[in-house]
Amino acid sequence: MKNFYRDNPDLAFQLTHPLMDSDIENYDLVLEIIGDICANTIAPNAEEAELEGPTLSDGHVTYPRATAENHRMLTQAGVYGISLPQKYDGLNFSMVPTVMATEMIARADAGFSNIWGLQDCAETIHEFASQEIKDEFLPRIYKGDTCSMDLTEPNAGSDLQAVKLKAIFDTESGFWLLNGVKRFITNGDAQIKLILARSQEGSKDGRGLSYFVHDSAWGGVRVRRIENKLGIRSSPTCELTFTNAPAKLIGEEKLGLIKYTMSLMNGARVGVGAQAVGISEAAYREALKYAQERFQFGKKIIEFPAVYEMLSMIKAKLQDSRVLLYETARFVDLSKSSVDRNEQKHFRRLADCYTPLLKLMAGEYCNQNAYDALQIHGGSGYMKDYPIERIYRDARITTIYEGTSQLQVVAAIKGVVNGTFLSQIIAYEAQSVGALYAYLKEYLLTMRQEYEEAVTMMQGVESEHLDFQARRLVEMAGCLIMGHLLLIDAQRDESFLPSAEIFIYKAYCWNREHYIFIRDFKSSFYKTYTFCHV
């Protein structure tokens, strides 16, 4: 019997990490159930779900048959509410096994993984809403009610401070009434909606925004259109109109963007990191299978260095994205479970810096992996006959939503400037490495010196110059961190050694290029780089 959990030893490896909590047997059991549904229902349904797509009728969405079946199977298995406490019928899973489930579901169907992943919204309700709202909404997640996260508007994308959707308190009904438009909302016709809206009349920035929960049964929200999009077509992306839609306030007024959206987005960014790893896994498997079956010039194409080089690079980027995913998830878990306040703060800081780094690196690598995996298929990859064509389109979204790659750099550069990444890199360096791996450690030590020099060169420069170099600095930190993580994992299990070797050598070259670019960059080059400012 196929199973996406059992057929991937990297998952059990991450679950048995020394820093994991003790509930592993329970995680293992549930992940096996989800792995079974992924392999035997969701993956076989993926093509049909995307071909049929969601439909719109009378302002509401109907899922494709296959998507509805996926959702029903997971609901019947009792695995929704995966991270919620048991008193809300949840499974009380920590972040590591939660994102592992997302990774497997994304491998099966990236579009459907959004419907699954949006249960993250329940976390925000759990953390910040009143007891009354918690009791009203949280037990419904287990029963299969779905969620949406309604932030974006036509003029408020990356810049959510520009959100305009109006919220006015209605003393008569005791509800807030919402009016306006949201766009690009995944699963926009969900039963439970979290909405960012302007509650402070006349305000212009993020301090005038509050957070609300809406129940579809209260009415007032209609889907105006379902977007016709490039990928993840099995899940609906909607434009919504709000007409006196009743809603309840979450937490306090004015903290909608600054506190609650930021918290929700941090969780969702780890979720997109998991989605990206799942898509990379799918791309790798499709490419490997094809390369082993396809003959040209009298031999299997996998025997050509040009092909096996691409495959081994895909695998290295896949395994490296995965180690970063689970390291980030562990930091999130430790920031919540540590009893010592200083330790909590330490892990919170790490989680805050690693989350955008993960979203950036895993999203970009997933796109590169899908591109190379399609290339290995040659012309067949361009046709709809093989899953790689869909996987390639699905991958594209991972660097766009939940904040584009450029916005992840804006968040992650803080970890470069305040030294959080460097201290953690030095902590990894302190871990002993066997003689067999010493040469890899040497590469990493050189990379760290160049990284430190590059950061020093940027001290005191104008902020525009720092912004210009930010992505290079963040990627240098990312490559160093991922190289160390893979090397540490290779100590526990030698099967990671080939990927560690390939990745660290490549990362050494990429970082050297960034280092030289930063070192030799002259301010007069700006003239060239800004030539399109007309």
Ligand X SMILES: Cc1cc2nc3c(=O)[nH]c(=O)nc-3n(C[C@H](O)[C@H](O)[C@H](O)COP(=O)(O)OP(=O)(O)OC[C@H]3O[C@@H](n4cnc5c(N)ncnc54)[C@H](O)[C@@H]3O)c2cc1C
The contact set with ligand X (CB under 6 A) reads 149-152, 157-158, 184-186, 229, 237, 397, 400-401, 403-404, 406-407, 410
Enclosing H/E stretch for 215 = strand 209-215
Q: Which residue is nearest to ligand X (CB)?
A: 157
CA distance linking residue 249 with residue 211, whole number of Å:
6
CA distance linking residue 108 with residue 43, whole number of Å:
4
- From residue 368, how far is each of 230, 279, 360 by CA, in Å? 17, 11, 12
Distance of CA 213 to the CA centre of its chain: 23
CA distance linking residue 196 with residue 209, whole number of Å:
7
DSSP letter (8 states) at residue 81: S
CB of 269 vs ligand X, minimal distance in Å: 11
Judge whether 402 counts as a catalytic residue.
Answer: yes
The SS3 call for residue 358 is helix
CA distance linking residue 480 with residue 339, whole number of Å:
30
Residues in the chain: 534
Closer CB to ligand X, residue 3 or residue 234? 234
Q: Which of 281, 327, 364, 402 is catalytic?
A: 402
CA distance linking residue 2 with residue 109, whole number of Å:
16
Ramachandran assignment for 174, one of left (phi > 0), alpha (psi -120 to 50 degrees), beta (any other):
left
CB of 115 vs ligand X, minimal distance in Å: 11
57 bridge partner residues: 60
Closer CB to ligand X, residue 237 or residue 280? 237
CB of 240 vs ligand X, minimal distance in Å: 10
Buried b (16+ CB within 10 A) or exposed e, 371-408: bbbbbbbeeebeeeebbbbbbbbbbbbbbebbbbbebb
Closer CB to ligand X, residue 26 or residue 406? 406
Closer CB to ligand X, residue 229 or residue 506? 229
Closer CB to ligand X, residue 158 or residue 418? 158
CB of 22 vs ligand X, minimal distance in Å: 35
Query: To 5 degrees, how large is the angle CA 114–CA 132–CA 174?
Result: 100
- Is the distance from CB of 314 to CB of 282 less than 8 angstroms? no
- Is the distance from CB of 284 to CB of 373 less than 8 angstroms? yes
CA distance linking residue 184 with residue 162, whole number of Å:
16
CB of 281 vs ligand X, minimal distance in Å: 21
193 bridge partner residues: 148, 214
Closer CB to ligand X, residue 54 or residue 483? 54
Closer CB to ligand X, residue 229 or residue 289? 229
Closer CB to ligand X, residue 263 or residue 338? 263
Token duo for residue 181: 């438009």
- From residue 402, how far is each of 81, 149, 263, 327, 360 by CA, in Å? 21, 10, 12, 20, 11
CB of 19 vs ligand X, minimal distance in Å: 32
CB of 252 vs ligand X, minimal distance in Å: 21
CB of 400 vs ligand X, minimal distance in Å: 5
CA distance linking residue 360 with residue 363, whole number of Å:
5
Catalytic residues: 402
